[in-house]
Amino acid sequence: MVDRVGVAGSDTGQSLLATPPRDRGADVAPPGRPRLGRLGPLLLVSHLAWALPSAAAGTLFQALFAAEHPQSKVALYATMSAVGAAAGAIGMIVGGMLSDLTRSRYGRRNPWILAGAVASAAGLAAAGFAPVFWQQVVCFAVYQAGLNAMLSALHALLPDRVTRAALGRASALGGAGYLIGSAVGGIVASAFIGAPAIGIRIVPWTMVAAAALVFVLARERSNTDQPRGRLALRTLLRSVLPPRDPDFLWAFAGRFCVILALFLVVFYQLYLFTDLIRVSTERAGELIALGTGLLGLGALAATLTAGLLSDRLGRRKPLVVAASALVGVAAVPALISPTVPSMVAFYVIAGVGYGTYLSVDQALMVEVLPNAGSEAKELGFLSLANTAPLVLGSVVAATLVATLGYRALFAVTAALAVIGGLCILKIRRVR
């Protein structure tokens, strides 16, 4: 793709990756685009389209391993998740950097959104046909690498095409799409709980359909007239380092802790129902569908409200900190008494907290970017705070379960959520 599409450089040999600091008092997009217009609904649809297979695949792989490898299901799922998350981290950073450098008549984002979606869908569908575990892991890694390459370009649409005054609403629409997709993904997973391999083959193609819509309806202008140069190995290696900016690093740490806190519970929700609360697999599937539906509804309401409120107040940090605290509070009832009602309470409270977090956090991340011209790469680093918990979270969760039992997941979730909120308070550049 980069050969024909081209990469950025300068006539003097200096890389455009050495970008100037972002003007923190100016809009993050040209002032002529005060409204979201067609892009807003497309953000909702595109995030829904990748969240659906992502949510469904987690439960379906757990069901598949429980049927095929009941004695080692936790370890196998942790291994697959760790490998996939590592591949996703590489796809996010490299894909974001190459998107920043791309020059084509279709722009620099849309080609990567479409190509990443196709590669990701093909990888996940192939995992549904793979007969042995190592092949499933390889296909899952392809799925995660393609997905995150797509997301690095998709996230960069905000700093590219949305003004600061509309960032909260844009972030809210993307968050709403993610939440709806996650809820629908839980319902879809419950429908295929008895035949998980078939579900794994079917669910990923929503990404391709949505990416095609973005490519056609949210067209980018040609940028082939921008400076073109060589992508040297030294420049490539330098570009994969994160910026040395305290606010950027605090934002990364805060998101990492909150996402890890949530994943520790959601990651193993099937096993929490079957092994801790002691319900059947079929009943667990029904409860997951109910829980993710409640989480999605609560989060959707909070997302749309908090995004609009954030834009009107011109403040991001108080809402993100409050949302982090709610995720921690949600784990307390299940920590005290792990029952079906306490898990339902977790879904409802965490839904409100997570919805608020999603609606504002992406806007905060855009405003904390330190450099202009490398938005996709820097957002890719920040998005590692979404994927890195999958690497560490699977290991941490498996270790906690093996040494302290499933209930320890709720205690660590509460602690991490509080720490994540404290990290956000350390950010100076964003209100």
> Is residue 387's pLDDT more than 70?
no
CATH 1.20.1250.20: does it fit domain 38-220+232-425? yes
**Interval 5-16: pLDDT, tens:** 343 333 333 333
Mean pLDDT of 242-263: 83
**Interval 20-67: pLDDT, tens:** 444 433 444 444 444 567 788 898 899 899 999 988 998 899 888 888
Q: Does residue 331 or residue 303 have the better pLDDT?
A: 331
**Interval 74-87: pLDDT, tens:** 788 888 888 888 88
> Is residue 326's pLDDT more than 90?
yes
> Is residue 336's pLDDT more than 60?
yes
Query: Measuring CA to CA, which residue among 151, 80, 161 is closest to residue 391?
Result: 80
- The reported pLDDT for the residue numbered 230 is 59
- The reported pLDDT for the residue numbered 35 is 55
Q: Cβ contacts of residue 157 below 8 Å, gap of 6+?
A: 39, 43, 109, 218
Against a cut of 0.75, is the pTM above it?
no
Residue 236's pLDDT band (cuts 50, 70, 90): low
Mean pLDDT of 120-147: 93
- The reported pLDDT for the residue numbered 8 is 38
Residue 328's pLDDT band (cuts 50, 70, 90): very high
Q: Does residue 32 or residue 231 have the better pLDDT?
A: 231
Q: Which of 257-261, 362-366, 383-387 has the highest mean pLDDT?
A: 257-261
Greatest Cα-to-Cα distance within the chain, rounded to the nearest angstrom: 67
**Interval 341-361: pLDDT, tens:** 999 999 999 989 988 887 787
Separation between Cα atoms, residue 54 and residue 49, nearest integer Å: 9
> Is residue 319's pLDDT more than 50?
yes
Separation between Cα atoms, residue 174 and residue 165, nearest integer Å: 16
Instruction: Give me the percent of the chain exceeding a pLDDT of 70.
Output: 84
Mean pLDDT of 352-379: 74
Separation between Cα atoms, residue 113 and residue 108, nearest integer Å: 9
Q: How far is CA 399 from CA 59, 75, 210, 270, 405, in A?
A: 20, 10, 38, 17, 9
- The reported pLDDT for the residue numbered 136 is 92
- The reported pLDDT for the residue numbered 231 is 59
- The reported pLDDT for the residue numbered 17 is 37
Are 159 and 33 spatial neighbours (Cβ–Cβ below 8 Å)? no
> Is residue 270's pLDDT more than 90?
no
Query: Measuring CA to CA, which residue among 60, 26, 10, 128 is closest to residue 270?
Result: 60
> What is the pLDDT of the chain when averaged over all its residues?
80
Rg (CA), the chain: 21
Which three-class secondary structure state does DSSP give residue 8? Answer: strand
Separation between Cα atoms, residue 174 and residue 43, nearest integer Å: 5
Query: Measuring CA to CA, which residue among 258, 256, 230 is closest to residue 242?
Result: 256
Are 131 and 201 spatial neighbours (Cβ–Cβ below 8 Å)? no
**Interval 390-425: pLDDT, tens:** 667 767 887 888 888 889 999 999 999 999 999 998
Q: Counting beta carbons within 10 angstroms of the beta carbon of residue 275, is it exposed (0 to 12), middle (13 to 18) or buried (19 or more)? A: middle
Mean pLDDT of 125-130: 92
Helix segments in 156-166, DSSP class H: 157-161
**Interval 185-219: pLDDT, tens:** 888 888 888 889 999 999 999 999 999 999 988 88
Mean pLDDT of 366-389: 69
β-strands 228-229, 7-8: how paired? antiparallel
Residue 235's pLDDT band (cuts 50, 70, 90): low
Which three-class secondary structure state does DSSP give residue 229? Answer: strand
